[in-house]
Amino acid sequence: MRRTVVGTAGYGANAIALAQQYEHILFEDVHRDVLYLFPRTPSGILDIGAGSGRDAAALARLGHRVVALEPTLELRREGQRIHATSPIEWVDDALPCLSAMRARRERFDLILLTAVWMHLEVAERAIAMHAIAELLAPGASVIMSLRHGPIPHGRRMFDVSADETLELGRASGLVGRYIGQRKDTQGRDWVSWSVIALQMG
């Protein structure tokens, strides 16, 4: 029986178009403000909500071992097709609990949540932050972006503040390393982003 993940509403039916949209945005543009925080040597990276695999593939090209977690079947299949030659491990799992990943008892040097966190409601965010912290190696980082702006039709999103996110991180043993704002990489004037980096103490 197919699992339903509430926060992914609207993504499966538009997977091909969304994947094309994601792939036309450069990894370096999305993460330009925090690239200096990414590991410089080959490391274990978990990309939560990997979408088309754009970031996962870019990181794999740099020599990292990348696990791409994508709960939307259609997006995951499209990412596997687009990046068929990339040594990415694709996993079907979902926030807030990340049950499959936590069962593996792995620890990662970096966890990415690009345009993902705003799909979780307040109670889910607290659960998710604890789950993420459990997957971090000592000294490892979480880098996430929070979307601000009108909610597209058919999507489930919440306007999440950077302050709340930092506080949730502190409650899970994470300290803030970076907080900033950036414009939308797709040129939408009505959308902006907060970029946050947290580190396991």
Contact 46, 89 (CB under 8 A): no
Q: Is residue 8 part of a domain?
A: no
Model confidence pLDDT, tens digit, residues 112-158: 999 999 999 999 999 999 999 999 999 999 999 999 999 888 888 99
The amino acid present at 38, given as its one-letter code, is F
Q: Which domain holds residue 145?
A: 29-200
Q: Is residue 9 part of a domain?
A: no
Which pTM was predicted?
0.91
Model confidence pLDDT, tens digit, residues 27-78: 999 999 999 999 999 999 999 999 999 999 999 999 999 999 999 999 999 9
Q: Is residue 11 part of a domain?
A: no
Burial 86-106 (b: 16+ CB within 10 A, else e): bebebbebbbbebeebeeeee
* CATH number of the domain enclosing 185: 3.40.50.150
Domains in the chain: how many in total? 1
Q: Which residues have a Cβ under 8 Å from the Cβ of 178 and sit 6 or more positions away?
A: 33, 34, 37, 195, 196, 197
